[in-house]
Amino acid sequence: MSDPDSSFGTERAFFLKKLRLSMLIPGIIVFLMWLVKICELLFELDLARLGIFPLSAKGLSGILFSPFIHSGFRHLFNNTLPLFFLGSALFYFYSGIAVRVSLWTWFLTGLSVWLAGRPAWHIGASGLIYGLASFLFFSGILRKYFRLVALSLLIVFLYGSMVWGIFPDIYQDVSWESHMLGFISGIILSVVYRKEGPQQPVIEWPDEDECEEEDEISPKSC
């Protein structure tokens, strides 16, 4: 007979290990974002030119680098907590597909901004944040798995007001294109990966004939 305390301790250790691992990659990205901003100030650099400039060869590198570039500490801080939380949630609940979803969100958002954005420098991680939030919300709804639906509702509770950021002229000096296109990228990826990752458990009820046969052997088996 297994010891309940031992079983609880094992489950707790597994949970903590999985939680730490889920925070690793988002934590590294956030650390790099802050490191870039600090280096920019210390060495008096202007790294905005590493952002995305639509339909321009000089702006293509921004698809890779723009999430690390921020206009100021307020911009950086506003993106830090959402990116860390949403990224950690993705790697915790969708560990099997989290890397692919993150990379595709990063690439699709950046490329679509380069193709369809206004002729200006687009910087910051907000497009990635909108993509992750969108994926987590719609993926939970599509899978109809209660744990993931609960996560979807939590996303709405914490970040529901973000939806206003996808509309032009709501916020001044904000790349609403990054928000909108990141949001759309998340929807697309939630559909593409709906059959991969965690799924709603399938409950199999015993067949009536099997139940009758087992009932002859043991009346309490069904």
pLDDT digits (tens, 9 = 90+) for 64-95: 999 999 999 999 999 999 999 999 999 999 99
Distances (CA, A) of 155 to 83, 104, 128: 12, 20, 15
For residue 216, is it within any domain? Answer: no
For residue 13, is it within any domain? Answer: yes
For residue 86, is it within any domain? Answer: yes
For 54, the domain range is 4-198
Give the residue, 205 or 61, on which the prediction is more confident. Answer: 61
For residue 65, is it within any domain? Answer: yes
- Residue 86 and residue 132 in contact, taking contact as beta carbons nearer than 8 Å: yes
- Residue 100 and residue 197 in contact, taking contact as beta carbons nearer than 8 Å: no
For residue 207, is it within any domain? Answer: no
**How many structural domains is the chain composed of?**
1
- Residue 45 and residue 39 in contact, taking contact as beta carbons nearer than 8 Å: yes
For residue 211, is it within any domain? Answer: no
Domain containing residue 71: CATH number: 1.20.1540.10
For residue 38, is it within any domain? Answer: yes
Q: In the predicted model, what is the mean pLDDT of the chain?
A: 88
Is this prediction's pTM over 0.75?
Answer: yes
Q: What is the pLDDT of residues 182-193, one digit of tens each?
A: 999 999 999 999
Q: What is the pLDDT of residues 131-151, one digit of tens each?
A: 999 999 999 999 888 888 999
Q: What is the pLDDT of residues 172-213, one digit of tens each?
A: 778 899 999 999 999 999 999 999 877 777 665 555 555 555
